Amino acid sequence: MPPTIVAGPDPGAAAAVAHGIAPGTEIVLVGPGAGAHDVPAVEADLRRPESTAAAFRRVVDTWGSPEAVVVVPPSIVPRPFHEVDPELWESTLDGALTAAMHVCRFAAPALVRAGGGAVALVAWEARPGSGLAHAAAASGAVHLLARALAVELGPFGVRVNAVSAPAGDVEAAVPAVRLLLSSDAAYVTGEVVGASSSGARAAGPAGGPGDGVALVTGAGRGIGAAVAERLAREGLPVAVNGLEPGETERTVARIVDSGGVAAPFPADVADPRAVDEMIGSVEDWRGPVRVLVNNAGILQMSPFLEMDLGLWHRVLAVNLGGVVNCARRVLPGMCRAGFGRIVNVASFWGLVGVAGAAHYCASKGGIVALTRALADEVAGCGVAVSAVAPGTVDTEQLGADAAFAGIPLAEMKARYARDAVLGRIATAEEIAGLVATLASPEGGAFNGTTLVANGGRRVA
């Protein structure tokens, strides 16, 4: 089994992350004092290139080329900025940025030779007034290092991301690291993934959905259908919503044929009364909704100045209003139960905007902001609210994009693929994998977070 290297100037912090990575993974610690822990280790001074190079040669000779690399920064000494002396400034940069740079320099060739892999660079989040301006500078540099490396290494199948964790809270970084190293994050690169404080996560006393149901809206096809099928494989009974009864029934049939439990619940999520009746039927069928995936969405491309106002209002009513209608209906029960997961499917277009889709971009941008606001409101009762912002996904929507651009579908797909540093567009199943993580008990670690999955694409 190819090893996963966990490196860092602070052996205790690196070991804490190493112990949280998925069981069965071959872990090798690299850093000063690494041998003091109960995992295979190689001593190295990561601030020195020759020491780091020697350590990586030993890892490759002993355990083989790595499949993943994690770099963990040392603990930080808080100090008001005007009291930060040159020695503290340099040591902070050395511990975070220089160490990450050296590790990546020597890990990248091995990952490229292996045909791909994953790199996760952990950095500390500095909050205002925390006396961590020096740490913030180092972390910002690490974030941009991750993004730059993602562009350089993406064509070789290597994904590079950063994790922003509360300063000194090593355990807070573990769920994000675990996700970024997994195949579920195969279309995530060049991103900075936030992590909630390990002491303030929306885990809930129940610790899981228990006897509840997962409701997935817009699950008749595309991303929604893939999410419904993935959650069913995870063992959840799934209520499949969609506007067209025939589509929801086909999704249900695939789930049931694969041994899962599902039932169709067609309804227009833009209609609050229809949502109330639908969720009442879901509760009668299998119990309360403990996982809600708001995926229902529509897009009809149109230049803003030519857009019919009816189209504008319909897109907002479905894409954003549907999230509001469903969340308002299920949140009281989730809070009473002490557990709930709401995962909203936003869009990369909701973060950057794109011509011809002002209505869609506005609705998806609203979802991102709503996700953050709701997360703050309900975290105290064990409910986590998070979002996924996909880039280009291989669904039927690409046909409409091609028609609007006046080009064949194959050319539309090729253009989108060229825009992503990974050189391809995503599958619906890859987005479903991210949703499944956010919908799980571990999803509490991502409360308020929007995970961007766009293959490293930086512009619309």
* Helix runs in 79-193, H state only: 86-93, 99-113, 133-153, 170-181
Tell me the residue range of the domain where 304 lies. 213-453
Question: Same structural domain for residues 134 and 17?
Answer: yes
> For residue 459, is it within any domain?
no
Question: Same structural domain for residues 166 and 218?
Answer: no
> For residue 460, is it within any domain?
no
> For residue 203, is it within any domain?
no
* Beta pairing class for 41-43 and 27-31: parallel
> For residue 46, is it within any domain?
yes
Question: Same structural domain for residues 219 and 338?
Answer: yes
* Helix runs in 205-266, H state only: 222-233, 245-257
Whether the pLDDT of residue 133 is over 60: the answer is yes
> For residue 208, is it within any domain?
no
Q: Distance between CA atoms of 59 and 385, rounded to whole angstroms?
A: 40
Question: Same structural domain for residues 177 and 325?
Answer: no
Average the pLDDT over 420-430 and give the result: 95
Last-in-domain residue among 167, 194, 221: 194
> For residue 321, is it within any domain?
yes
Question: Same structural domain for residues 244 and 160?
Answer: no
pLDDT in tens, 251-260: 999 999 999 9
Handedness of CA 340, 22, 181, 432 (dihedral sign): negative
Question: Same structural domain for residues 100 and 239?
Answer: no
* Beta pairing class for 262-264 and 383-390: unpaired
With a CB cutoff of 8 Å and minimum separation 6, the contacts of 248 are 219, 220, 240, 241, 242, 264, 265, 266
Strands across the sheet containing 4-7: 41-43, 27-31, 4-7, 68-71, 117-125, 158-166, 192-194
Contact between 293 and 343 under an 8 Å Cβ cutoff? The reply is yes
- Catalytic residue (choose from 56, 187, 349, 360): 360
Q: Distance between CA atoms of 281 and 266, rounded to whole angstroms?
A: 11
Question: Same structural domain for residues 164 and 96?
Answer: yes
Question: Same structural domain for residues 189 and 219?
Answer: no
Count how many domains the chain has: 2
Dihedral of CA atoms 375, 377, 381, 387 in degrees, nearest 10, equals -10
Predicted local confidence at residue 198, as pLDDT: 53
Average the pLDDT over 286-293 and give the result: 97
Last-in-domain residue among 194, 223, 242: 194
Question: Same structural domain for residues 248 and 333?
Answer: yes
pLDDT in tens, 168-226: 888 899 999 999 999 999 999 999 998 876 544 544 444 455 678 999 999 999 999 99
> For residue 200, is it within any domain?
no
Predicted local confidence at residue 459, as pLDDT: 54
pLDDT in tens, 345-378: 999 999 998 899 999 999 999 999 999 999 999 9
Last-in-domain residue among 159, 194, 229: 194
Residue 358 belongs to domain with CATH number: 3.40.50.720
Question: Same structural domain for residues 139 and 101?
Answer: yes
> For residue 207, is it within any domain?
no
Question: Same structural domain for residues 161 and 267?
Answer: no
Predicted local confidence at residue 24, as pLDDT: 84
Question: Same structural domain for residues 293 and 383?
Answer: yes
Q: Does the active-site annotation cover 360?
A: yes
Predicted local confidence at residue 199, as pLDDT: 44
